[in-house]
Amino acid sequence: MAKGFDIRRQTGFATVAMACFVILYLPIVLLVVYSFNAGTSVAIWEGFSWRWYQTAWQNEQVQAATIRSLVIASWATVIATSCAVLAALATTRQGTFRGYTFVFAMINQPLMVPEIVTAVALLIFFAMIKVATGYTGLFYLIIAHSAFCIPFAYMPIRARLQGMDLSLEQAAMDLYGTPWRVFRRVTLPQLWPGILAGAMLAFVISLDDVVITEFVKSAGQDTLPTYMLGQLRRVVTPEVNAISTALLAISVVLVIAFFFLSRNKK
C-alpha cells in the first residue's frame, strides 16, 4: 500500500527543524540565564544572583512604566474585546451580506498593514487632535492600542462563534426570546471561553507593543517596553534581561491559558 507524502520522512527534516528551534529559542534561554548574572555584563557569567530582579523591583521608573503599561493594556483589552464581540456577532450571525469581504478586511486591517505604517498614521492623526485640544494624556495610547488589538481578539471569538451549535439560539428565538435575552442567556455562556482567550491575547499584544507606543506617546509616558528600549540605547545591563524575563513569563502564562481556553471541546 502506497504511503502518502509525509514531510517528517524527508531527508534532513529533523536537522532543519532542530536548527530552527535552536536559532529561535537559544537567545531567549541565554537572556533568561543572564538575568541571574551577579555581574554587570550581559555576556560574561559571574555567578548566580537575584541582584537585577531586586534592582528592577526597586527602580521607580520601572514601577511607573509597569503601572502605566498595565493600565493601558487593561483598558485596551476591555475596549478591543467589546468591539471584537460585536464584530464577530455581526459577521457570523447575519449570514453573508453585501460588503462582507470588505468588512472582514477592515476588521483585520492592522494584521495586514505594516505596524510602522499604522504608527505613523496614528502619529499624524493624534498630533492634529493634540494641537486642537491641548490634551496629551494616556487616552491616545489607549485608543491606539485598542484599535491595534481588535483583530487579535476578534479571531478567537469569531472561531468560537462559528463552532457553536445554532440550534439552541434558534430554539430560544422560537420561544419568543428577544435578541438581547437570547444573547445573554444562550450565546454568551457558550462564548465566554472565546472572549477570555481573545482578551488575554489582546492584553499580551498591548503589553508588548513598542512601535505604535513609541510613535504615539507623549513625554513622560514610557511603557515598560519603551523604557527598556531607551535603556538599551544608553547602557545594557542584566536589569533589562530581568525585566524581559518577567514579561516573557507573563506572556507564556497568558498564551498557555489562551491555548487551553480556545481549543475545541467535544
Do 143 and 75 contact (CB within 8 A), yes or no?
no
pLDDT tens digit string along 148-199?
999 999 998 988 888 877 777 778 777 777 778 888 888 888 888 889 888 9
Domain 60-262: CATH architecture, name and number where available: Orthogonal Bundle (1.10)
Q: Of 15-19, 21-25, 61-65, 74-78, give the range with the top mean pLDDT.
A: 74-78
What percent of the chain is predicted at pLDDT more than 70?
A: 95
The residue extents of the domains of the chain are 60-262
Residue 219 phi/psi, 5-degree rounding, is: -60, 135
Q: Model-level pTM?
A: 0.82
C-alpha cell at 226: 519603551
Question: Per-residue confidence at 2, pLDDT binned at 50, 70, 90?
Answer: low
Among candidates 216, 192, 196, which has minimal Cα distance to 204? Answer: 196
**Which 3 state secondary structure label does DSSP give 264?**
coil
Residue 50, H or E segment? none
What is the structure's pLDDT at 260? 75
What percent of the chain is predicted at pLDDT more than 90?
A: 26
